[in-house]
Amino acid sequence: MNFFKKNSFRFVNWLSRTYFSSRLSYSHIEAFIFNNSFKKIKNILLCHWEIFRGVSEVISFPYLMILEVTNICNLKCPFCLTGKGISGGRDKRHMTYEEAILLIDAVADYVYMLQLYTWGEPLLNKDIVKIVEYAKKKNIYVMLSTNATALNEVNVQRMISCGIDYITLAVDGISQETYEQYRVGGNYQKILDNVTQMLEIKRSLKSKKPFVEWQFIVFRHNEHEVDAAESLAYSIGIDKFTPLPAYTEDKTWIPEGEKYKTELLNPERLRHCERPWTHVNVRADLGIAPCCYEFFKKDDFGDAKQQSFKEIWNNSYFQSSRRMIYQKHMGQKLEKSNIICRDCILSGVRPSYINVKADTPAENTIPVINIK
Ligand SMILES: C[S@@+](CC[C@H](N)C(=O)[O-])C[C@H]1O[C@@H](n2cnc3c(N)ncnc32)[C@H](O)[C@@H]1O
Ligand code: SF4
């Protein structure tokens, strides 16, 4: 059974890395099948019709919602902007339950998937379980990625009981020595105990959900542990093991093997980004970002504290972003604009890296492109 599972997912991972820039996700397919409605399907069709025609002032709604329930974290991962202690000009805070439900309600009729994290550790928000419960009652597929430090018997029981759909566990090593090099401040044995307990609770509740993915970000210091981690994952009951190419600003962290080489440039974005039509991203301070890679407050497209979702969704930022993406797609000259999508479209560098200085010595640092 594990042999079949392992090899099937190896094939899926290869397909995803090779053709989908590691973004092919089983969760989208499942959400589309089980969390849909006539209204949602009508909206998706309209949305893609508007993308195809390059419509900038849209009548469709986003069908994916990303709520950053917190931008606070208890680890210090060296290439994560939160881990580096950068605030990006935002208040460090947890989104409140009341804020989250207002935001969910604004798009619940159209959204089939809700992702509950961006740049922080979602389980540190004390209301995370209540937010999951609310979204599940609204027939939305709910997923989150966690460093697993704050998984405990109580939150796991409740999240499984209300039907959380997908949990990604970010664990990049199978020994303390390896694990803590990226997950700085984490304790490997504690993480493994938390994960094992979660899988035991899932078994005892006889629940098929959540689908549990072990995500292993591959760096030079841990590439030798990938195969052993994969075997361990399937032996304890993980549904899918995913070795992921890392984003890194330091060449000495890039794996020696070819298989998981870091890609600073993002081919998917250069091909054709659809996020300003399909996604709505709300940051912990209620800033509205064009995509989950945007980090700095100055690059936000709106503020949900000041304006309603409908006012923001077709404002000049969103319209300009959609126009520029279409202009690039059609091989036209891009309009003049100060918004971050322009730099992203022209450079292919993820927006969170634009203008960020690495903390590493110059000779090892991958140059950050600054386009003006
Ligand atoms: C910023 S984290 C926030 C969620 C949570 N704290 C976690 O670590 O899973 C969002 C995702 O980015 C991933 N990530 C962090 N550093 C990365 C890196 N250098 N390369 C690729 N993915 C990374 C995490 O593993 C996680 O899946
Ligand atoms: S655990 Fe997640 S949010 Fe925290 S520093 Fe690491 S990658 Fe960033």
| pLDDT over 90 at 143, yes or no | yes
Residue of 68, 71, 119 to mutate, ligand 2, most atoms within 8 A of C-beta: 119
Asked whether the beta carbons of 180 and 188 are under 8 A apart, the reply is: yes
Asked whether the beta carbons of 340 and 346 are under 8 A apart, the reply is: no
Q: Does the Cβ of 80 fall within 6 Å of ligand 2? A: yes
Proportion of the chain in helix, strand, coil states, percent, rounded to 5: 45, 15, 45
Q: Does the Cβ of 266 fall within 6 Å of ligand 1? A: no
Which atom from ligand 2 is nearest to the alpha carbon of 76? Answer: 5
Rounded to an integer, what distance in angstroms lies between the CA atom of residue 311 and that of residue 292? 20
Rounded to an integer, what distance in angstroms lies between the CA atom of residue 353 and that of residue 28? 27
Cα(49) to centroid(ligand 2), Å: 36
Could you say which ligand is closest to the alpha carbon of residue 21? 1
Encode pLDDT of 325-356 as tens digits.
999 989 999 999 989 888 888 877 666 665 54
What does DSSP say about strands 240-245 and 211-218: parallel, antiparallel, or unpaired?
A: parallel
Q: Name the H helices within the chain.
A: 2-19, 26-34, 38-53, 97-107, 128-137, 153-162, 176-182, 188-204, 226-236, 267-272, 275-278, 309-313, 316-329, 340-347
Kindly state the tokens that stand for 131.
């937010």
Q: Residue 249: which of 77, 121, 371 has the closest Cα? A: 77
Q: Residue 212: which of 174, 154, 175, 165 has the closest Cα? A: 165
Cα(5) to centroid(ligand 2), Å: 29
Kindly state the tokens that stand for 93.
């805070």
Q: Does the Cβ of 191 fall within 6 Å of ligand 2? A: no
Tell me which residue has its CA closest to atom 9 in ligand 1. Answer: 146
Could you say which ligand is closest to the alpha carbon of residue 185? 2
pLDDT value, residue 22: 63
Predicted TM-score of the model (pTM): 0.91
Rounded to an integer, what distance in angstroms lies between the CA atom of residue 134 and that of residue 123? 16
How confident is residue 251, by pLDDT bands cut at 50, 70 and 90? confident
Residue of 71, 145, 194, 292 to mutate, ligand 1, most atoms within 8 A of C-beta: 145
Tell me which residue has its CA closest to atom 2 in ligand 1. Answer: 119
Could you say which ligand is closest to the alpha carbon of residue 244? 1
Among 181-185, 215-219, 245-249, 272-276, the range scoring the smallest mean pLDDT is 245-249
| pLDDT over 90 at 2, yes or no | no
Burial-class residue 368 by CB neighbours within 10 Å (0-12, 13-18, 19+).
Answer: middle
How confident is residue 371, by pLDDT bands cut at 50, 70 and 90? very low
pLDDT value, residue 25: 75
Asked whether the beta carbons of 117 and 292 are under 8 A apart, the reply is: no
Could you say which ligand is closest to the alpha carbon of residue 247? 1
Rounded to an integer, what distance in angstroms lies between the CA atom of residue 142 and that of residue 166? 7
Burial-class residue 297 by CB neighbours within 10 Å (0-12, 13-18, 19+).
Answer: middle
